[in-house]
A and B are shown apart, each in its own frame.
Chain A
Amino acid sequence: AQSVTQLDSQVPVFEEAPVELRCNYSSSVSVYLFWYVQYPNQGLQLLLKYLSGSTLVKGINGFEAEFNKSQTSFHLRKPSVHISDTAEYFCAVCHSGGSNYKLTFGKGTLLTVNP
């Protein structure tokens, strides 16, 4: 079984400040890792994913994340946030060898960017 822990339920920041949203996972097998963003009353949009290769992954909207296998972490970062980045962010993991590719989600982090 696998699990995902998002350590912060809410992260308030000021516009143009850097931000890091933390994600740790637990799994006994190799995994794929994902970050999704959800705006109010909408579905999920993929920000970035780690499947293999370089541990530093760059995504859309200026976000990036680094896969750290020894620390079982996949923290999401952005050097300078905008008001429009205010949203709920979900970290997710799935078993890389699984046949159905089921995702396990963290509880989410609400990022609020203040002017």
Chain B
Amino acid sequence: GAVVSQHPSWVICKSGTSVKIECRSLDFQATTMFWYRQFPKQSLMLMATSNEGSKATYEQGVEKDKFLINHASLTLSTLTVTSAHPEDSSFYICSARGSASGRQYVTYNEQFFGPGTRLTVL
């Protein structure tokens, strides 16, 4: 249980285009989803936190107009990289956390990570 998927797993796009990455919790309701960025041989840097139905909270230094996050349902969050440039090339990873209620409690005290999306902007 507690599986998180991401789509696409990799994407190559031209500079100036927008790219949407989907993050889905497959078998639990994700009240909170997180988006991370990871450069080669580096750690994960949190970009933003989103709670279902509300605006995302962005970390300092992350451009909210550049990285649009939508968390419209309890199982889906999307990250859109707008007007992508080569410096946006990176590995993007999402994670999800469930609620504290009922049988979902096991998903409350932990973030479950997706497999990541490799974005390459030419």
Contact = CB atoms under 8 A, between A and B. Distances in A.
Interface of A: 32, 34, 36, 41-46, 49, 51, 90, 100-103, 105-108
B111 A107 contact: no
B59 to A, nearest CB: 9
B113 A102 contact: no
27 contacts: A34-B110, A41-B91, A41-B116, A41-B118, A42-B116, A43-B93, A43-B113, A43-B115, A44-B44, A44-B93, A45-B113, A46-B110, A49-B109, A90-B43, A100-B49, A100-B51, A101-B32, A101-B109, A102-B34, A102-B49, A103-B34, A103-B111, A105-B43, A105-B44, A107-B42, A107-B43, A108-B42
Interface in B31-51: 32, 34, 42-44, 46, 49, 51
Interface string B73-104: 00000000000000000010101010000000
Contact size class for B?
A: 20 to 34
Given A36-B113, A43-B6, A102-B46, 4 more contacts: A43-B114, A44-B93, A49-B110, A107-B43
